[in-house]
Amino acid sequence: MAALGFFLTIGLVHRGIKGAVMIAILIVTGLGVVFGNVAFQGVVSMPPSIAPTFMQMDFSGAMEVGLISIVFAFLFVDLFDTAGTLVGVAQRADLLDKDGKLPRLNRALLADSTATSVGAILGTSNTTSYIESIAGVAEGGRTGLTAVVVGILFLAALFLSPLAGMVPAYATAGALFYVAILMMSGLVSVNWRDLTEAAPVVVVCLLMPLTYSIASGIGLGFISYCAVKLFSGKGREVHIGVWVLAALFFLKFVLL
């Protein structure tokens, strides 16, 4: 079923059909209902109360010595997970400048960190940017209006959770494979003739899925980049900031 969803997505996208990803998901979900793998659970329900998690924060506990390392780890995971996602999505949306940098990155990071903080106050899991946004970019969504529409639809989903919960994991798996294809297109800009540049890229590409973390993949990429440059006699080519980040990630992986 997941493979069928993937084939449908690629076929519909190739034909230029708008909403191809959503159409494929709905078709596979419908087939799941026909074959009895998906049960109808209703359409509308009231969202659960947030009272058990709202403002349930223990600031004194966060200052304990044993938790400082955990806070530090979460900080780096969230920071580099977000930075990697933003750059990846911006590259696909052709929003990077001629130097490969994302203009007004500080505003994007501020929006992301604000959402993370508000989400924590409400008691949700980490509210951050997601790499799946590339699927929206591929459909033409490249402005803030896209985010506003998605936010409104998420609000509606609070009351349509039984309907949304019917969508099985195998129905969305094809969309994730499609996102992977979109992400791979960025590898054409890698200098594959220079092993000291190509090797760290391969490390990042392999370890992101194997560690289930964008941040861990990026961190190990920093470490491998510095190590490869150092042992290749090109250590002077590495910016001091990259050395610092590689050292911090090394300490994180060893000590935390």
Question: Is 243 contained in some domain?
Answer: yes
Side chain identity at 117, as an amino acid letter?
A: S
Contact 202, 221 (CB under 8 A): no
85/112 same-domain check: yes
- Structural domain including 184 reads 1-40+166-189
Least confident piece of the model among 6-20, 199-213, 241-255? 241-255
pLDDT band with cut points at 50, 70 and 90 for residue 7: very high
User: Across all residues in the chain, what is the average pLDDT?
Assistant: 83
Least confident piece of the model among 77-91, 160-174, 206-220? 77-91
Say which residue, 159 or 81, is predicted with more confidence. 159
Listed residue (111, 79, 90) closest to 214, CA to CA: 79
Mean pLDDT, residues 210-218: 81
Say which residue, 181 or 214, is predicted with more confidence. 181
Instruction: With a cut of 80, say whether residue 158 has pLDDT above it.
Output: yes
Contact 8, 120 (CB under 8 A): no
Per-residue confidence (pLDDT) for residue 48, from 0 to 100: 82
Number of domains in the chain: 3
Instruction: With a cut of 80, say whether residue 91 has pLDDT above it.
Output: no
Mean pLDDT, residues 164-174: 86
213/229 same-domain check: yes
Question: Is 204 contained in some domain?
Answer: yes
Tell me the whole-structure pTM to 2 decimals.
Answer: 0.66
Q: Which residues contact 205 (CB under 8 A, 6 or more apart)?
A: 187, 217
Calpha distance 12→27 (Å, rounded): 12
